[in-house]
Amino acid sequence: MPNLEVKIPPMGESITSGILAKWHVKDGDIVKKDQPLFELETDKITSESAAEAAGKITLKAAAGDEVKIGQVVAMIDTAASATPAAESQISDSKSQTKEAPATAAPAAAAPAEPQAKTPAPAAKAAESQISDSKSQIKTPPPAAKSQIKAAPPAPAEKSQILNLKSEVNQPAGERQTRRKLSPLRQRIAERLVAAQHEAAMLTTFNEVDMSAIMAIRAKYQDDFVKKNGLKLGFMSFFVKAVVHALKEVPAVNAQLDGDTLVENHFYDIGVAVSTERGLMVPVIRNCASLGMAAIEKAIAEVAAKARDGKIALTDLEGGVFTITNGGIFGSLLSTPIINPPQSAILGMHTIQERPVAINGQVVIRPMMYVALSYDHRIVDGREAVTFLVKVKQSLEDPARLLLSV
């Protein structure tokens, strides 16, 4: 009987193992070709693996196991995919499912059997006992009344009762949840701590009047959607503004390799994406040659791949600069951490209407704080401030991007 091995696929030279995070199928299921089978978490990415052929699957590893690259985690019996027995079992289960409500309906609709009626003498005796007990409760003897009035519950007893109730209402195990960090989360933690320890990190701030960009989006959004099939967002403006600033201040487009300074002459920009598994930074390639629509499409594609667990290692490598947008979560101001080995990162924040002074007049404008964290070993303060001012100018007057000024 032909069997197909399901192995952990190669993920890159630096990845040798991972965690089998989740099975999408159960042991003994009939799977189809290209059907997602499992999710693998590594220290860099989380990805899905699909079936290479149809058949009956037998699992050889459990969710949560650490697995090596090339390890066999399941077997697919390809002969079982087209057997009449399997098809008949499926059809039988469907027919049973359809007939189940009809079988269960009479039982569900049948009223509960009425309890046997109490004979009249017994009922009268029970009623007399109840009335006697009521009268005893209503008219306690004078001594009992004084005891009831003289013995109110003490405050200490009340607190003990309340504490006991709270403990009863909080079952054991609900106050804490403990789980091991995923390889991706461990790697993120290591990189962030390393960035703070190794780089001479500093942050400079500015604010951007978003009126011009918002006016452009309002004016051309419908035409942009009709032509390109997606909306014109803010991120494409920021990507183009960053590329323009990197050209004007090339020191920011550099990185350290040991004791060597490496100057980059290309513009592959990373865009931070928040996923359930952690923060990922897919890279948009050759942004200097891309138009706004192409940038928006590229961002949408890599963001969807990251959230669906289908991102590839090559999608995350080689960026020269990163943009992160905490504004989508409501952040007003932050100091983003550099993504090594890059020398700088730009933080976007929420847009907020604020009073600002323009030409001697106080007006209300949609303002955004922006932050540039940079490695002071490579980038001087003058260069960092100049870079951020160039970004601000391009965003407040987008015509500069067309004229490269």
Active-site residue list:
376, 380
Residue 366 and residue 225 in contact, taking contact as beta carbons nearer than 8 Å: no
**Measured CA distances, 398 to 20, 211, 359 (Å):** 47, 11, 20
Pairing relationship of beta strands 351-358 and 361-375 according to DSSP bridges: antiparallel
C-alpha–C-alpha distance, residues 390 and 148, integer Å: 82
CA dist., res. 176 & res. 404, Å (int): 55
